[in-house]
Amino acid sequence: MRYTYRARARDGSMKEGEYQADQPGEVAAWLRSQNLMPIVVREARGLPAKAGGGARRAPGKESGSSLGLLERLQRMTTVSVRDKAIFFRQLSTMIASGLTLGASLDILKDQTSNKRLADAIGEIKRLLDGGYPFAVAMKRRKEFSPLMIAMVQAGEEGGLLDITLDRVATFLEKQDALARKIKSALTYPIVVMLFATGVLYLLVTVIVPKFQQVFAGMNAEMPRITLMVFAFADFLKTKWYLLFGGILLLIVLLVLMHRLKSTRGFVDRLKLGFPIFGDILFKAIMARTMRTLGSLVQAGVPILSSLDMTMEVADNVKISRAYEELRDNARQGASLGDTAKKMKVFPPMVAHMLSVGEQTGKLEEMMNKVADWYDLELDQKVSQLTSILEPVLIVFVGGVVALVALAVFMPIIGAIQSML
């Protein structure tokens, strides 16, 4: 059977031709022996070869039923963005150094500590040996997003796979760094508030009741603040489940509203309008979406497809709709910069940079600069938030303790004064 092939030489040039073989795997093996990286292998009549069945398991591969419980659990773990970034970075380096794609995947499969990612690499390698293009093989695994697949496919078809893989790695590394910034901005206040809540709960439910018993035997008139603290202590001690149940119910309600399409937009607008944290969230989304759009355009993905994928990574209905409007107007031939200027979602600086990028032919460069600027703004915002929250939380915790102390000591002072 004759197969047509398309492959890339080490100098980056594309080679096309035909080869006689019994199955597409033999064509792929022959191309690698000629120092060519196979991109597409098809039957000569034009139908895609099925790689010897494609879905069949390679010899020696353990079936799911033969795997031990520990190995099954390891394969159920998630694959972090950092693990994916390391994979693409190493793969890019190996291909650039002259190793074939198949050999590189074999090495990475053996040295990857994440079992789920190693399993994905192994399946991609088997499909690759069967004649499937790299990007098509990646689609079989959920670990790789449409964005990664689109960038890899553009690089594969353009003969710049190693460069594109490097761009994917850089993109994922920046996304991981952005996520860490957000976590650092939220972790500190959450930990302090949880600690303060725990201390307050122990203070009100353990210490205050002891004073309440003493004051009950004094038959003295209690100040209003003392009565309020005692009533709150009784509530926490006897009906604590109502308070915690209400908090849990509120969290579940917000999660459901976030998932339902009918209420998702309201929740997303609410998050963006939240003081301090809303601004941090907006800057993080703009940095992520602009970086995504710039990376896709730089990789050679068509602008309309790039805008589609950017809508997905926004993870906010309000901003996703803004990118959807950009896409719809771009489909009709409108300028991205002019469209962005008419929308309140995009700041004037973003619209201006889009216009400059379109006029100079450096759209991806301008979008990456916008993303870098938002990254810098996010760093400063997180630093400011940390410096502001420290004294605010100290005053809050101190105020709560002072309130309880005042409620306890005011009756004592009143009793002492009445004895004089």
Identify whether residues 106 and 206 lie together within a single domain.
Answer: no
Tell me the average pLDDT across 176-205. 79
Same domain, 321 and 378: yes
On whether residue 154 sits in a domain, the answer given is no
pLDDT tens digits, residue range 96-107? 887 888 888 989
Residue 368 lies in a domain: yes
Shared-domain flag, residues 327 and 179: yes
Query: What whole-number distance in Å separates Cα of residue 250 and Cα of residue 144?
Result: 34
62 in a structural domain: no
Chain segment 382-411, per-residue pLDDT in tens: 777 777 877 887 888 788 788 888 887 887
How many folded domains does the chain comprise? 2
Examine the domain organization and report whether 291 and 401 are in the same domain. yes
The structure's pTM equals 0.64
Summarised one tens digit per residue, pLDDT across range 110-158 is: 888 888 889 899 999 888 888 788 888 898 888 888 888 888 888 877 7
Say yes or no: 210 and 345 in one domain.
Answer: yes
Report how far residue 63's alpha carbon sits from residue 357's, in angstroms, rounded to the nearest whole number.
Answer: 51
Q: Based on the domain organization, do 21 and 98 belong to the same domain?
A: yes
The predicted model gives 327-332 an average pLDDT of: 90
Domain with 276, as residue range(s), is: 174-420
Q: Indicate if the pLDDT at residue 220 is higher than 80.
A: no
CA separation for the pair 62, 122 (Å, rounded)? 12
Residues 394 and 272 in one domain: yes
Report the mean per-residue pLDDT for the chain: 80
Same domain, residue pair 96 and 188: no
Q: What percent of the chain has pLDDT over 70?
A: 86
Would you say 6 and 39 are in contact if contact means Cβ atoms under 8 Å apart? yes
| pLDDT tens-place string over residues 42-95 | 676 544 443 333 333 333 344 444 445 555 555 556 788 889 999 999 999 988
How far from each other are the two terminal CA atoms of the chain, in whole angstroms?
Answer: 112
* Backbone dihedral region for residue 366 (phi beyond 0: left; psi -120 to 50: alpha; all else: beta): alpha
What pLDDT score was predicted for residue 10? 64
Same domain, 234 and 372: yes
pLDDT in tens, 257-295: 888 888 888 888 888 888 878 888 898 889 888 888 888
CA distance 216 to 101: 81
Higher model confidence: residue 171 or residue 408?
A: 171
Q: Are the CB atoms for 152 and 168 separated by under 8 Å?
A: yes
Q: Does residue 371 sit within a domain?
A: yes
pLDDT given at position 382: 78
140 and 178 together in one domain: no
CATH code, 242: 1.20.81.30
Please check whether residues 212 and 82 belong to one and the same domain. Answer: no
Asked if residue 357 has pLDDT above 80, the reply is yes
300 belongs to a structural domain:
yes
Q: Is the pLDDT of residue 202 over 70?
A: yes
Per-residue pLDDT, 33 = 80
